[in-house]
């Protein structure tokens, strides 16, 4: 569950700290006060796309930090991602700069936002009015039905999808085999010729760099001889004895120091160092002399190098950027030659494999269909019970599984149809259902899916739009029931819903700054009075609010 939230410079919120309790938490406030910003902050912690427009005017960045209590399974996933969980508490952070750059932290470790989606998103489910729109689509309806099936149904779907992927792969292979036979023969011939060319050239990784260095040396051999010759003169002196080289000068220095050491032991250290320098310079002079003796022009070798480099460049063209890539290309080419030459390239054999794969898809698909039909009946029955309690006594939700050709999602299309009353036709949710009806269908679904949903926290953003009166009271009662096993956070504008809250948070805006605070007792009665359109200073209006609270408490206990 979410324990607390710290928001800084997000929209109308300059700074806010919110502590969340267990059960049903209601969030209220006047329009424009910033209720949406609280939801936006939670969405950022769930890995939502960072939007620089959320940064408060005048600030250079926004930040959101949340503390979540997590179970051992989630803690293990956090630790796998490199984060820390201390005392069962996980700290999650997100910051967004005006330039659009975003940073995310999970358990004190920087992570991509997608990791927040994967880990934090598994703990929190957010539903708003936009989800009602998505619920009218087939994909969302299919996901809702499959979600109701729990882990056992998910395993069945996984088995079907694996079979479908295999059938698609075999079909692609067969299509490739059925291609132009002459094109396949030409491809095989080209690949074999290229492999032969590479094998005859036998290039080695790093060879290009070695050839470049050797070519540079041979091309500039005269300059090298002059420079290295002068270097050797400085080391050994000239042949005429006009000046002493560094080796001989160092020997003289060593001899003088060795003689001086007779008079002062402190000079002994210098003697040792001078001796090492003599040995080092002698070795250097010998190595330079040997290098100079080998430094001869070799036009024939230079021509060989140019020819070798040209051959390598030719074999690289169109295949790779360097020899390492070329060798990898050759390995792939050999695999392709083996594939084109193997018995598996026989179209008849692959066609038999495809028939078996398609039969496997249909077999798994039948089991998925049977499971979905069974789940559809159970889910529709449960939703209809909830709809009847939500002031839709004559409404019926039908969940149909209409056969279709196999796809990655199964062998049927899932369609939710709402029949408002017995004499009306059952029509798809997107055709004719009002906002209030969609709100109640969504809530009824959530109450049913909550029995199998792994999330520990549900967040509802004004899903009670378009309803009121006794229906609103029933919505509050059912949210309260859902909150018996989950933390439920509800952003609402209805006092009848807010009255059922175990915790009541009010978002207020004064002088352009938004604050969040918890209300109870008389202050809560005043907020409920405001929500019902009454005068908070009116005794009668306050009594009405008190009665609404008392009624909610009575229903909760009953």
Residues 119 and 215 in one domain: no
Total domains present in the chain: 2
In a domain, 84, yes or no: yes
* Spatial separation of the C-alpha atoms in residues 32 and 34, rounded to whole Å: 5
End position of a domain, from candidates 313, 336, 359? 336
Residue 36 sits in a domain whose CATH number is: 3.40.50.300
In a domain, 118, yes or no: yes
Domain boundary among 280, 309, 336: 336
Q: How many CB atoms lie within 10 A of CB 383?
A: 27
pLDDT along the chain (558 residues), means of 10: 93 89 92 77 90 90 95 91 92 92 92 91 79 76 91 95 96 80 80 93 90 81 78 80 80 90 88 92 89 77 86 90 92 88 75 95 98 97 91 92 95 94 88 76 81 78 74 86 89 92 90 84 91 84 86 76
Q: Please give the distance of CA 171 from its chain centroid, rounded to a whole number.
A: 31
Residue 7 inside a domain? The answer is yes
Residue 215 sits in the same domain as residue 331: yes
Q: What is the pLDDT of residue 70?
A: 92
How far is it, in rounded angstroms, from Cα 220 to Cα 226?
Answer: 10
- The domain of 211 spans 207-336
Identify whether the C-beta of residue 418 lies closer than 8 Å to the C-beta of residue 429.
yes
At residue 33, the pLDDT reads 62
Q: Which two tokens stand for residue 200?
A: 């005859």
Residue 214 lies in a domain: yes
212, 331: one domain: yes
DSSP string of 468-518, one letter each residue: -HHHHHHHHHHHHHHTTTSEEEEE-S-HHHHTT-SEEEEEEEETTEEEEEE
The answer to whether position 428 is within a domain reads no
pLDDT score, position 534: 83
* Residue 493 three-state SS: coil
Tokens encoding 115: 């990791």
Asked whether residue 20 falls in the same domain as residue 113, the answer is yes
Q: What are phi and psi of 302, to 5 degrees?
A: -65, -40
Name residue 6's beta-bridge partners: 17, 65
Could you tell me if residue 385 is inside a domain? no
Q: What distance in Å separates the CA atoms of residue 409 and residue 269, rounded to the nearest whole number?
A: 84
Nearest to 519 by CA among 535, 542, 531, 503: 503
Is residue 441 within 8 A of residue 433, CB to CB? The reply is yes
Strand order in the sheet with 124-128: 124-128, 457-461, 487-491, 24-28, 503-510, 513-519
CA–CA separation, 530 vs 30, rounded Å? 9
Single out the residue in 336, 371, 401 at which a domain terminates: 336
- 481 in any annotated domain: yes
Residue 395 falls inside a structural domain = no
Do 227 and 332 lie in one domain? The reply is yes
| 229 and 116 housed in the same domain | no
Looking at the structure, do residues 213 and 331 belong to the same domain, yes or no?
A: yes
């Amino acid at each position: 569950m979410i324990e607390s939230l710290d928001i800084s410079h997000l929209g109308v919120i300059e700074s806010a700290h919110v502590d969340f309790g267990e059960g049903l938490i209601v969030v209220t406030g006047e329009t424009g006060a910033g209720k949406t910003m609280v939801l936006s902050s939670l969405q950022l912690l769930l890995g939502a796309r960072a939007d620089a427009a959320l940064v408060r005017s005048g600030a250079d960045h926004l930040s959101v930090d949340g503390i979540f209590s997590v179970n051992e399974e989630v803690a293990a996933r956090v630790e796998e991602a490199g984060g820390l969980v201390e005392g069962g508490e996980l700290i999650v952070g997100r910051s967004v700069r005006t330039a659009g750059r975003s940073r995310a932290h999970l358990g004190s470790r920087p992570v991509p936002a997608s990791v927040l989606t994967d880990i934090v998103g598994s703990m929190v489910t957010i539903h708003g009015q936009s989800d009602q729109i998505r619920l009218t689509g087939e994909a969302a309806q299919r996901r809702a039905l499959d979600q109701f099936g729990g882990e056992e149904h998910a395993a069945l779907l996984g088995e079907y999808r694996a079979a479908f992927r295999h059938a698609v792969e075999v079909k692609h292979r067969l299509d490739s085999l059925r291609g132009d036979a002459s094109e396949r023969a030409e491809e095989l011939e080209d690949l074999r010729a290229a492999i032969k060319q590479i094998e005859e050239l036998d290039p080695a990784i790093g060879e290009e760099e070695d050839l470049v260095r050797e070519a540079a040396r041979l091309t500039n051999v005269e300059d090298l001889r002059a420079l290295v010759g002068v270097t050797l003169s400085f080391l050994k002196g000239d042949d005429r004895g006009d000046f002493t080289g560094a080796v001989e000068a160092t020997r003289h220095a060593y001899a003088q120091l060795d003689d001086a050491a007779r008079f002062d032991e402190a000079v002994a250290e210098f003697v040792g160092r001078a001796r090492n320098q003599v040995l080092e310079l002698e070795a250097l002079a010998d190595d330079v002399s040997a290098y100079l003796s080998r430094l001869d022009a070799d036009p024939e070798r230079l021509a060989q190098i140019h020819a070798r480099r040209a051959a390598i460049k030719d074999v690289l063209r169109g295949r790779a950027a360097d020899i390492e890539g070329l060798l990898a290309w050759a390995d792939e080419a050999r695999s392709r030659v083996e594939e084109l030459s193997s018995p598996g390239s026989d179209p008849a054999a692959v066609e038999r494999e495809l028939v078996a794969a398609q039969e496997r898809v249909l077999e798994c698909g039948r089991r998925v269909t049977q499971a979905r039909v069974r789940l559809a009946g159970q889910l529709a029955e449960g939703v209809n019970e909830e709809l009847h309690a939500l002031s839709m006594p004559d409404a019926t939700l039908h969940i149909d599984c209409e056969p279709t050709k196999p796809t990655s999602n199964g062998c049927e299309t899932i369609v939710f149809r709402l029949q408002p009353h017995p004499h009306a036709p059952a029509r798809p949710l997107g055709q004719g259902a009002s906002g209030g009806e969609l709100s109640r269908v969504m809530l009824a679904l959530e109450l049913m899916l909550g029995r199998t949903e792994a999330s520990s926290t549900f967040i509802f953003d004004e899903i009670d739009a378009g309803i009121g009166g006794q229906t609103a009271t029933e919505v509050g009662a059912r949210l309260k029931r859902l909150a018996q096993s989950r933390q439920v956070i509800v952003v609402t504008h209805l006092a009848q819903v807010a009255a059922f809250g175990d915790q009541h948070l009010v978002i207020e805006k004064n002088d352009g700054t938004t604050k969040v605070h918890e209300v109870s007792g008389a202050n809560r009665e005043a907020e409920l009075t405001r929500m019902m359109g009454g005068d908070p200073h009116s005794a009668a209006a306050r009594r009405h609010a008190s009665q609404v609270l008392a009624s909610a408490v009575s229903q909760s206990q009953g």
